[in-house]
Amino acid sequence: MAPYLDLVFDIPANQHFTYRNLAAPSPAKTPREAVPGKRAMAPFGKRDLLGYIVAEREEAPAGVDQASIREIRRVVDTECTFGAEDITLAEWIAAYYLCGLGEALAAMIPSGRRAGSSPTLHGAEEEIAPSPLELSDEQREALETITASAGSPAGIPTGSPAGIPTGSPAGGPGGAPMFYLYGITGSGKTEVFLRTAEEVLKQGKSVIYLVPEIALTHQTSEAIKARFGTLAATFHSGMSPGARLSEWMRARRGDLRIIIGPRSAVFAPLNNLGLIIIDEEHDGSYKSGNTPRYHARQVAMRRRAVSGALLLMGSATPSAEAWNLMENGRIRRLYLSRRLAGGKPPEITAVSLEGTEGCLTPRLKDEILTTARMGRQTILFLNRRGFAYFYHCPSCGFELTCKHCSVSLTWHKDRGRAICHYCGYSEVPPKACPACGSLEAGFRGFGTEMIEEELGRTFPQLRVRRVDADSVARGKSLEENLEMFRAGMVDILLGTQMVAKGLNVPGVRLVGVILADTGLHLPDFRAAERTFSLLVQVAGRAGRYFPDGKVIIQTLRMGDPVIEKSTALDVDGFFRAEIAQRRALNFPPFSRLIRLSFRSRDSTRVDKAAARFADLSRPLLPPGADILGPAECPIGIIAGNHRRHLILRGPDMGSLHGAARIALLRYNKGRDSRVYAEVDIDPVSLL
Ligand code: ADP
Ligand code: ZN
Ligand code: ZN
C-alpha cells in the first residue's frame, strides 16, 4: 500500500491533490484498500469531498511540507470504478473542454455511491436472436460496406476531421473509418445499426449505441433487449445513480457487451470496443449543457481514434458539420432512399397562416376531418408550450417580461398564471396595461395549450391528447399518452418536440405543423438548420406504413427558403444553400468557435470581466482568427444574472484552443470572484 495518494475532485481546477493513505486498513469485513480507480472521501478545506484516486506515490511531492498533508477519510468503493483508460479519456476531456480532470471523471462515472442490485450474470454469451427481416438491397449494401472495413483499420485516411487540437493529449488521428447512414425517415436505418452491432459482437467486440435522450423509449430498449438479451443494457435518465453504477460496473467486468443510452453512454467502460453508433446524429441532446460541455460525437471520435472502433452515424437530416465531412469524403456516406414498411414520402404542402382567425387554417381543418373519417390519426406539432406567447400593449408597446430574466412571460391558462420558461417565475397577469392602463393589452401568439382549446371547440367529437413538458409534468406520462395514441385511442396527438422525434405509429396519416417559423427568428447561425431538420423530422412521422401520408406546414413566411426546402424534403438543396452561406459568413463548419460566457448579479462587473477576457485573448489569437463581441447574450438576464458572451472564432481548433487556454489561465489569475465565467468549446447554442 503506497503511503501517498493523488486525488482529483469535481471542481474547476486541473490539479492533483496529494493525501496520506489510511494509516492502517480498516477492520471492516471487506478491506477497502485505497488504490487508483477507487473513489474516496477526503477533507478539502473545511468540508469532506468525494475524490477520485488517480495515482499513488511513495513520496510526498517535492517542496511540500509533510505535516500539511492530510489523510483521506475513507475509501468509498470496494471494487475499482474506473481504470487507466478512463483516466486517459478524462484527461483528454479536461484538455479539450478546458475543465478539471475531476469534473471530467464526474461527468463520466455514474454518481451512485453504491451499486444497485442487478442480475449477476457472467460470461455474456447469451444467444443473439436472429432478425425476422430480410434486408433490402440498399440495407445489405450498406451493411457489407461497413463490415468489410471492420478488419482493415486503414480504410479511409481521416486526418483529424474533428479538429482535435494538435499538441494536446489528444494524440494522433486513428485510422478506423467513419460511416454515415443517410436515409429518409423510415428507410430502415435501425435495422442496419442492429445488424452491424450483431456482426461486431460476433467478432467478440463490444458496442456503444447512442440515441437521443427523448428517443430512449421503452419501445427502443425492449426491441434491443429482445435482440441481444443479457448482452445488452440501457442507460437512461430515469435510472437511479445506484442502478446506473451497477450497469457501469457490469460493463467494466465484461458482463455487458452492448450499451444503449443517451449522451453519457459514450463513456461506457466496455472492453474491446468495436463500434460506436450515433443514431439521429444531428440531435441537440448529444451536447452537454453543463461543464464539461462535451459533445458525444466528439468524444466518440476520440474513442474511435484510441480504440480503432468503427464509428457509424445516421440521420435523415445530418448536422451541417457531418454533411460537410461527407462532402469532403472524410465520412463515408451510405444512402438509403426507400421506405421499407410500405410507406412513401408524404405529400407536403405549405399553407399561409396569414389572415386566419385562430391557429388552424381551413386546409388543415379539412385534412384533420378527412383523416378522422378514414379512421386514421393526426399529429399536430408546435414548438412552443403554454397558451399564448407574450403580453403586449398595442397603445404603449408595454410587454410583460419576467422580473428576473429578460424574456416574455407565457400565459398558462390552466394554471391562471404567466410563467417564465427560463426560471419558473410566475405571476397573475394584469387586467389592463400596467404602463398606460389600456384595456387592449393582452397575450398574443399561441402555444400548445391554446391549440388544444381550439381543437376542442372545433372538433368536439375527436379525442385530443397534448404532450409537452407541462402536461407530462402533471400526471399522464409521455409513455402513457404515446401508448394510447399507438393503440388508436387518441385521434389527435398535439405536442412540442416530444412528438417530433422517433414516433413510429402506423395509423398516422396527417402531420400538421401549426407554425413552422417559431425558431427562425432566433439570433443563432444554426436557426435555419434546426428549423429545417425539425420540419423534415416531423414530416417523417407521416406515411411510414401507407403511401398516403400528408403534411401541412402552416407558416407566416411563405416563400422562405427553409420552408420551401423542407416542403420539398430537399436535404441536398438545403445544405447546398446553407453551406454556401456558412462559408460566406465564416461560420462552422468553415471555422471553429469557442464561446466564453460571463454572468453576474452586477452588470458593471460582468461587462468588465468580458472586456478583460477579450483584451487578454486578442494578442493570443492565431492568424485568421477573430473575436465576436463581447456582447450581451441574446437572453440578457436569466434569474437575476446579467449575461455577456464573446466568441473566439478561428480557422482550426488547434491554434484557437491554445489561445483560449492561455487567456483563461491569465483571466483566472486576476478574476473577479463575483463574476462566473464558463467556457464552451464548439458551442451549439448561442442564446
Ligand atoms: P429509420 O430509422 O430509418 O427512420 P426504421 O428503422 O424505423 O427507419 O424503419 C422503419 C420501418 O421499416 C420499421 O417498421 C422497420 O421494422 C421496417 N423495416 C426495416 N427494415 C426492413 C426490411 N428490410 N424489410 C421490411 N421492413 C423493414
Ligand atoms: Zn400600455
Ligand atoms: Zn425568469
In the chain, where the domains are located: 4-108, 137-336, 347-385+447-581, 388-445, 592-681
pLDDT digits (tens, 9 = 90+) for 455-494: 999 999 999 998 877 666 666 677 788 888 989 999 999 9
- Confidence at residue 124, expressed as pLDDT on a 0 to 100 scale: 47
Statement: residue 105 has pLDDT above 90: yes
Architecture of the domain spanning 347-385+447-581: 3-Layer(aba) Sandwich (3.40)
Task: Report in angstroms the alpha-carbon separations of 194 from 5, 227, 531.
Answer: 44, 8, 29
Report helix, strand or coil for 505: coil
What pLDDT does 171 receive?
31
Does pLDDT of 667 surpass 80?
A: yes
Q: Is the pLDDT of residue 598 over 90?
A: yes
- From the CA of 438, the nearest ligand is 2
What would the CATH number be for the domain defined by 4-108?
A: 3.40.1440.60
Share of the chain above pLDDT 90, in %: 59
Residue from 134, 190, 312, 335 whose mutation best tests the ligand 1 pocket (most atoms within 8 A of CB): 190
The pLDDT value given to residue 40: 96
Residue 230: predicted pLDDT: 84
Distance from first CA to last CA of the chain, Å, rounded? 51
**C-alpha–C-alpha distance, residues 416 and 152, integer Å:** 63
Single-letter amino acid code for the residue at 280: E
Point out which residues pair with 260 in neighbouring strands: 209, 234
Asked, colleague to colleague, whether 137-336 and 347-385+447-581 share their fold, the answer is: yes
For domain 137-336, give the CATH number.
3.40.50.300
Residue 476's pLDDT is what?
63
**Minimum mean pLDDT range among 6-10, 255-259, 325-329, 356-360:** 356-360
**Residue pLDDT, tens place only, 396-438:** 888 888 888 777 888 888 888 888 877 788 999 898 999 999 9
Give the residue, out of 133, 277, 533, with the most ligand 1 atoms within 8 A of its beta carbon, to mutate for a pocket test: 133
The set of protein residues with a Cβ atom below 6 angstroms from ligand 1 is: 133-136, 139, 183, 185-191, 340-341, 504
Asked if residue 675 has pLDDT above 70, the reply is: yes
Q: Give residue-wise pLDDT tens across range 9-54.
A: 999 888 899 999 987 655 555 568 999 999 999 999 999 999 999 9
Q: What is the mean pLDDT of residues 195-211?
A: 94
Mean pLDDT, the chain, as a whole number? 87
What integer pLDDT is reported at residue 165 of this predicted model?
38
Task: For residue 131, give the DSSP letter.
Answer: P
> From ligand 2's centre to the CA of 403, what distance in Å?
18
404 alpha carbon, closest ligand? 3
In the prediction, which pLDDT does 387 show?
Answer: 60
What confidence tens digit (pLDDT) does each residue in 242-271 have? 999 999 999 999 999 999 999 999 999 999
pLDDT in the model for residue 110: 93
The ligand minimizing its distance to the Cα of 405 is: 3
Q: How many residues does the chain have?
A: 687
pLDDT digits (tens, 9 = 90+) for 148-197: 886 544 433 333 444 433 333 333 345 678 999 999 888 899 999 999 99
pLDDT-above-70 percentage for the chain: 90
**Which atom of ligand 1 is nearest the CA belonging to 193?**
6
Ligand 3 centroid, distance to 412 Cα (angstroms):
15
385 C-alpha vs ligand 3 centroid, how far in Å?
A: 16
Atom of ligand 1 nearest to the CA of 189: 3
Determine the pLDDT at residue 126. Answer: 58
Does the structure show a pLDDT above 60 at 101? yes
Residue-level pLDDT at 416: 87
CB atoms within 10 A of CB 47: 7
CA 261 to chain centre: 12
Rounded CA gap, 34 and 1, in Å?
8
> Does residue 384 or residue 513 have the better pLDDT?
513
Phi/psi at 528 (nearest 5 deg)? -65, -45
Give Cβ neighbours of residue 177 (< 8 Å, ≥ 6 apart). 149, 155, 156, 158, 310, 311, 332
Architecture of domain 592-681: 2-Layer Sandwich (3.30)
**What pLDDT does residue 23 have?**
76
Nearest to 648 by CA among 638, 637, 656: 656
Lowest mean pLDDT among 256-265, 434-443, 567-576, 655-664: 434-443
Ligand 1 atom showing the smallest separation from residue 540 Cα: 4
What is the mean pLDDT of the segment spanning 542-553? Answer: 84
